[in-house]
Structure 1
Amino acid sequence: MSDFIERVSQISGRSKVAERQALTEEATKTSVILPFLQALGFDVFNLDEVIPEFIADVGTKKGEKVDFAVKIDGKIEMLIEAKPVNTKLGDTQYNQLFRYFSVTEARLAILTNGREAWFFSDTDEPNKMDKKPFFKFDFQNYDKEQVDELARFQKLNFAIDEIVEAASNLKYTRAAANYLRRQLDDPDDDFIRIVGKQIHEGSITKNVAEQLRPAIQAALDEVIRDRIQDKLSITFSGEKKTAPEPEPETAPSSTGSTGDEIETTEDEVAGHLIVRAIAARHVPVERINIRDAKSYCAILMDDNNRKPICRLYFNSATTRHVGIFDAAKNETKHKVSGPEDLYRFAEDLEAVIKAYLE
């Protein structure tokens, strides 16, 4: 697996270069897409494995081509349509994939621009490509779980039935997660009634539903906070077991540093994890980074000091503050008792995070 992770890392580097220099679809194919197929274990120079400009007549349409067809044991398993790296996949038309999907043996189709790869199958109707991808992989921004998922598509691991089953599971998981996120932000009437029937005796009239709505919203927030706190407790207990004992002569003081040393305290780590939890609705948590300094601990987006989210002023033994940034990078300080008070500023934290995405 480590070899595959390294190959994906190399593709990531190629993708970044291509985004600056590849001006055409052909350049994108050469610089990223063919190396990507090689990383999956396919011989791009063997026409028994990778067929460029694949032609399959569909009805009255003759001579149309899809960019690549990939074979395993003589059977077409994947169709790939390429777009220039500067093309947004959400804006593209990929009609060839839809048409070819139904007239070939393939049950997997990939749409890629060298920056992202979107994976499609036929989880909705047999032999008809789904309208939405079941998996998206961003070559320039990914985590270990996504690499593990991408590893399914390697030639040596390729098992189409398992891939389609996983695709179906991912589709329903994603749909359920999107539904729950909507309920967290603004519970709809049906959701209020479902929960209301469990906690209220009698009919759930419109007036009753409106009375229950704030209580249910507060309960949702409480459940999330409790789950995050449980995970934080597990994390800290694990860290305490493995953390080395500091040397007596250089042990940091309670203020967090001695001389030129900088100590990242448990409360600063907790603050970082809480900001990650708040940000998780909008960005992968790996994009929320911590960078400690003598006078404060910074929480940044993309580990970029030009994208500050907040600062934790936790080194004082008597008073603590958090500095919350806005989209214009203006900092407002607030007195707090500990990292858990960051939840009070969840809306402000989400606002600056969303501003950096625009």
Structure 2
Amino acid sequence: MAKRAISAQAVAQTEEATKNAIVMPFLRVLGFDVFDPTQIIPEYVADVGLKKGEKIDYACKIGDRIEYLVEAKSVSTNLRDAQFSQLFRYFHTCDANIGILTNGLHIWFFTDLEAPNKMDATPFFKFDLLSYDDNDLKELEKFHKSNFRIENIQAAASSLKYLRGAMSFIEGQWASPDEEFVRLVARGFYDGKLTGAVVEGLKPIVRRAFDDLFRQRARHKIDVAFDGGADDAIPAVDENKVDTTPDELQGFMIVRAIAAEVAPVSRITMRDAQSYCAIMFDDNNRKPIARLHFNGKSKFVTVFGADKEGVRHEIGRVEDIFGLGGPIRSVISNYLSGQ
């Protein structure tokens, strides 16, 4: 599905093309027969107040009830800027449980956590076809037609809403801790009086504590990849004696840490080259896992699929490779199953 989305991205610039090339296949992934009018109703019409004859792109039925309403935008549309007032109005009129807004590459899921039968202004779950992990797939599975249980989805939606809020708060405090937060943390280790001057002096310490804690946790996860730090954990690079940079080595260690969940890390090997650093399974160039492209102005990682086709992922920092855990584990599992 992701491969189809990437291929269609360059040509499916209209809403209709996006629907045919990406959205309909996505609905099939969710278990719907897109050609069965008892399951999928395209161009669904319902009169909403004074607005007559408005259409929503798809209404998805499970049993005899419309559960999902889908509004599609062109693949070039940024969903943050998209207008989707029809989805809000139809959500209330049709008593649907889930509203879906998509441009084919990004799929946003809405429900009514704030007020009954009124769609929330912000999505409780976002799925990105170009960048997802195992947790995202587990959440997406809840929306499959055969798995649909509205009570499970609503419980997950509530949890995801608060998780998103907690992450946003922590991220903000990490970047710039406010006085109240610093006082809360300081009470755990500072015995003196927390005057304004003391709190101001502790702010950079609290911010540094966030950074150091993250590094320690990341380092612990990376260390798993080395089976306790064996001397032969890092294989030699190829005979060209290309200089392997610290970023490439760190990237390789992160891929090993991810791979450790599905395979012995000794089977994950590296060969450096002039233009990229290759990571392979069993030191076999016919079993590529990823390529680290860190020598240019921007960093990106190519992760290979079962068809040996590579998918490019732009990253800002080497640590962002942790976000590619799903596709990395998937290609390794394919090699294991083919033994």
Specify if TM > 0.5: yes
Instruction: Give secondary structure in 1 for the equivalent of 2:66.
Output: strand
Give a deviation string over 1:234-270, Cα, whole Å, max 9, x none: 3322796xx99xxxxxxxxx993585799x9x99755
2:101 to 105, 111, 116: 111
Conservation of the 8 A alpha-carbon contact between 2:237 and 2:270: no
Structure 2: segments with no counterpart, 5+ residues? 258-268, 280-289, 300-315, 321-339
Q: C-alpha separation between the residues in 1 aligned to 2:24 and 2:297?
A: 42
2:13 to 19, 23, 26: 23
Counterpart in the other structure of 1:40 = 30
Counterpart in the other structure of 2:323 = none
Instruction: Give secondary structure in 1 for the equivalent of 2:180.
Output: helix
Give a deviation string over 1:47-73, Cα, whole Å, max 9, x none: 111111112222222211111110101
Counterpart in the other structure of 2:163 = 173
Alignment of 1:241-320 (within 5 A): 256=236, 270=250, 272-273=252-253, 292-293=271-272, 298=277, 303=291, 305=293, 308=294
Counterpart in the other structure of 1:78 = 68
Alpha-carbon shift at residue 189 of structure 1 (Å)? 1.8
Choose 1 or 2 for highest CA Rg.
1
Q: Return closer, same or farther for 1:299/1:172 CA change in 2, 3 Å cut-off.
A: farther
Give a deviation string over 1:8-50, Cα, whole Å, max 9, x none: xxx2222223211123211111111111111211111111111
Counterpart in the other structure of 1:247 = none
Instruction: Give secondary structure in 1 for the equivalent of 2:227.
Output: helix
Q: C-alpha separation between the residues in 2 aligned to 1:217 and 1:187?
A: 7
Q: Return closer, same or farther for 1:87/1:304 CA change in 2, 3 Å cut-off.
A: farther
Conservation of the 8 A alpha-carbon contact between 1:75 and 1:105: no
Alignment of 1:185-224 (within 5 A): 185-201=175-191, 203-224=193-214
Alpha-carbon shift at residue 294 of structure 1 (Å)? 6.6
Instruction: Give secondary structure in 1 for the equivalent of 2:23.
Output: helix
Counterpart in the other structure of 1:127 = 117
Counterpart in the other structure of 1:92 = 82
1:66 to 53, 56, 60: 56
Conservation of the 8 A alpha-carbon contact between 2:56 and 2:69: yes
Structure 1: segments with no counterpart, 5+ residues? 1-10, 245-253, 278-289, 310-324, 329-348, 354-358
Conservation of the 8 A alpha-carbon contact between 2:276 and 2:292: no
Alpha-carbon shift at residue 129 of structure 1 (Å)? 0.9
Q: Which amino acid aligns with 1:84?
A: S
Alpha-carbon shift at residue 174 of structure 1 (Å)? 1.5
Which structure has more RCO (C-alpha within 8 Å, separation ≥ 6)? Answer: 2
Q: Return closer, same or farther for 1:177/1:49 CA change in 2, 3 Å cut-off.
A: same
Q: Which amino acid aligns with 2:108?
A: W
Q: Which amino acid aligns with 1:227?
A: R
Conservation of the 8 A alpha-carbon contact between 1:32 and 1:114: yes
* Corresponding position: 1:236 with 2:226: yes
TM (norm. structure 2) is: 0.71
The percentage of aligned residue pairs carrying the same residue is 42
Conservation of the 8 A alpha-carbon contact between 1:50 and 1:69: yes
**Greater Cα offset, 155-164 or 221-230:** 221-230
Give a deviation string over 1:185-217, Cα, whole Å, max 9, x none: 221222112112223345432212112222222
TM (norm. structure 1) is: 0.67
Q: Return closer, same or farther for 1:14/1:233 CA change in 2, 3 Å cut-off.
A: closer
Alpha-carbon shift at residue 156 of structure 1 (Å)? 0.8
Q: C-alpha separation between the residues in 2 aligned to 1:230 and 1:67?
A: 47
